[in-house]
């Protein structure tokens, strides 16, 4: 551990968790509902016909309605999955399974890996998959999107909020372009749902992927919104008992569905408070870091973004070394957790034009509901001091 640890503000007794884009802690109110559902006398298969099965099924339907309320949907348009990755696969690969005379898909270079990989897999079925670039601000060029659409375009997939740099894409405008051409529009809203207002009905979204563990529910549950007005409905990927309207066969984990429903209801109620809180923590963190490391820079700084996201480049500091040196005091990441173990620069940072050396000097922080001002200030001083020491050591080694 670098000497800077002992010279900076005293670390908290527990790890300061600042990686809320990777996953959020389970809200205690959500956890209590999970515990209640798992108690011996409450457990029931929601697909069973007896009393406890019907009781579990009723709880799932309440959760379905709560998730629908969060995004302005109808309950019957919400289909539970194991998470956003599965939802994205169903949405993209499921549309690809239709013989509709259209075989062109458009998506964006900064999408989550599961969207890009799902789209690219359609090439095996004869699809032409086109990946559009973004600017330095991380934003899609709407004119380029519009001019890229063809008569045989089946699907456009553009994420609502980026999981690394937090940039908000103009999904209402994208939806309008698609609706004019009768093209299915899918958005991965795993990072956006519960953090910014979303209304699928007024926006005109056909498919939307959601993730429970990004909005203070446990890992292992997600949902796919499929509009009743979608020009094409995706086909299910899992065969079995035909649960979830045939979109996703398999026994539903009622306790996780209930958890996601409760989390969605809490997010709907506290969204503005959470956003203000996260934004203020982000601003305070930046003030401290930039006062101590003036050359630290925010990626895609000019773009609209999630309130609690921060992609920060500290030139000359190896991000992997920094993250390791901070353990176990502060939890931040170098890129998306879905890409952990991948020894190459982030595709998102490359897409916004960041040089490899700068991409390798970038950390991602996510400020959330349960972070406090005191721990954020402590983390800011600690990260600044450790980064400065790493930078000095690196310079000395190079000399």
pLDDT tens digits, 74-111:
999 999 999 999 999 999 999 988 767 899 999 999 99
Which domain-ending residue is among 265, 287, 312? 265
* Alpha carbons 236 and 289: distance in angstroms, whole number: 47
The number of residues making up the chain comes to 399
Q: Are the CB atoms for 202 and 175 separated by under 8 Å?
A: no
Token duo for residue 87: 């939802």
Which sign, positive or negative, has the C-alpha torsion 338, 285, 190, 81? positive
pLDDT at 26 over 90: yes
107 and 229 assigned to the same domain: yes
Q: CATH number of the domain at 120, please.
A: 3.40.640.10
What residue spans of 109-208 are helical by DSSP H? 113-121, 142-148, 171-180, 200-203
What is the pTM assigned to this prediction? 0.92
Bridge partners of residue 116, in order along the sequence: none
Please, are residues 194 and 264 in contact by the beta-carbon 8 Å criterion? yes
Domain match, 245 and 280 both:
no
Q: Does the CA dihedral 79-85-89-92 come out positive or negative?
A: positive
Last residue of a domain, one of 213, 240, 265: 265
Residue 330 has pLDDT above 90, yes or no: yes
Q: What is the dihedral of CA 335, 336, 338, 343, to 10 degrees?
A: -20
**366 lies in which domain range?**
4-26+271-398
**Is the pLDDT at 8 greater than 70, yes or no?**
no
Mean pLDDT of the chain: 91
Task: Give the tens place of pLDDT for each residue, 34-68.
Answer: 999 998 677 787 887 887 888 888 999 999 999 99
pLDDT computed for residue 343 by the predictor: 60
Whether residue 86 is found in the same domain as residue 208: yes
pLDDT over 70 percentage in the chain:
92
pLDDT-derived band at 396 (thresholds 50, 70, 90) equals very low
Question: What is the pLDDT at residue 185?
Answer: 98
114, 178, 267, 338: the catalytic one is: 338
Report the Cα–Cα distance between both ends of the chain, in Å, rounded. 22
Least confident of 89-98, 171-180, 267-276: 89-98
Q: Is 267 an active-site residue?
A: no
317: DSSP letter: S
Pairwise CA distance, residues 85 & 113, whole Å? 9
- Report pLDDT digits (tens) over 281-314: 999 999 999 999 999 999 999 999 999 999 999 9
Phi, psi of 349 (to 5 degrees): -65, -35
> What is the per-residue pLDDT for 341?
54
Q: Tokens representing 43?
A: 């457990």
Domain boundary among 247, 265, 283: 265
- Residue 173 tokens read as 């405008």
Contact 312, 365 (CB under 8 A): yes
Q: What is the pLDDT of residues 238-253, one digit of tens each?
A: 777 788 887 888 889 9
- 124 with 255, same domain? yes
DSSP designation for 235: P
Determine whether 40 is exposed, middle or buried from the number of CB atoms within 10 Å of its CB (0-12, 13-18, 19+). Answer: exposed
């Amino acid at each position: 551990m670098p000497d800077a640890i002992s010279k900076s503000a005293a670390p908290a007794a527990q790890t300061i968790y600042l990686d809320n884009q990777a996953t959020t802690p389970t809200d205690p109110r959500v956890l209590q509902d999970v515990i209640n559902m798992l108690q011996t006398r409450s457990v029931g298969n929601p697909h069973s016909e007896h009393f406890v099965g019907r009781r579990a099924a009723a709880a799932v339907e309440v959760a379905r309605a709560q998730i629908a309320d969060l995004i302005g949907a109808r309950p019957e348009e919400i289909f539970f999955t194991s998470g956003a990755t599965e939802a994205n696969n169903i949405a993209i690969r499921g549309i690809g399974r239709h013989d509709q005379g259209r075989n062109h898909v458009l998506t964006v270079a900064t999408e989550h890996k599961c969207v890009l990989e799902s789209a690219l897999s359609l090439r095996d079925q004869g699809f032409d998959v086109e990946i559009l670039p973004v600017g330095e601000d991380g934003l899609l060029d709407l004119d380029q999107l519009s001019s890229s659409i063809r008569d045989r375009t089946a699907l456009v997939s553009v994420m609502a909020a980026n999981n690394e740099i937090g940039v908000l894409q103009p999904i209402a405008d994208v939806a309008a372009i698609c609706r004019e051409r009768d093209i299915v529009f899918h958005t991965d809203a795993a990072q956006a749902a519960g953090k910014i207002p979303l209304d699928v009905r007024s926006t005109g979204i056909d498919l939307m992927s959601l993730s429970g563990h990004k909005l203070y529910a446990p890992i292992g549950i997600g949902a796919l919104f499929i509009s009743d007005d979608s020009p094409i409905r995706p086909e299910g990927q899992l065969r079995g008992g035909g649960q979830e309207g045939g979109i996703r066969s398999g026994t539903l984990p009622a306790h996780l569905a209930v958890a996601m429903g409760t989390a969605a209801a809490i997010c709907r109620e506290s969204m503005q408070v959470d956003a203000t809180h996260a934004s203020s923590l982000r601003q305070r963190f930046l003030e401290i870091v930039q006062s101590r490391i003036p050359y630290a820079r925010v990626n895609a700084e000019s773009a609209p973004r999630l309130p609690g996201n921060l992609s920060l480049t500290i030139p000359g500091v190896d991000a992997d070394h920094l993250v390791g040196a901070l353990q176990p005091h502060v939890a931040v990441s170098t890129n998306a957790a879905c890409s952990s173990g991948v020894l190459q620069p982030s595709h998102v940072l490359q897409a916004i034009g960041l040089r490899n050396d700068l991409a390798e000097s970038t950390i991602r922080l996510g400020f959330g509901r349960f972070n406090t001002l005191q721990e954020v200030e402590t983390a800011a001083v600690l990260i600044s001091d450790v980064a400065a020491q790493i930078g000095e050591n690196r310079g000395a080694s190079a000399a």
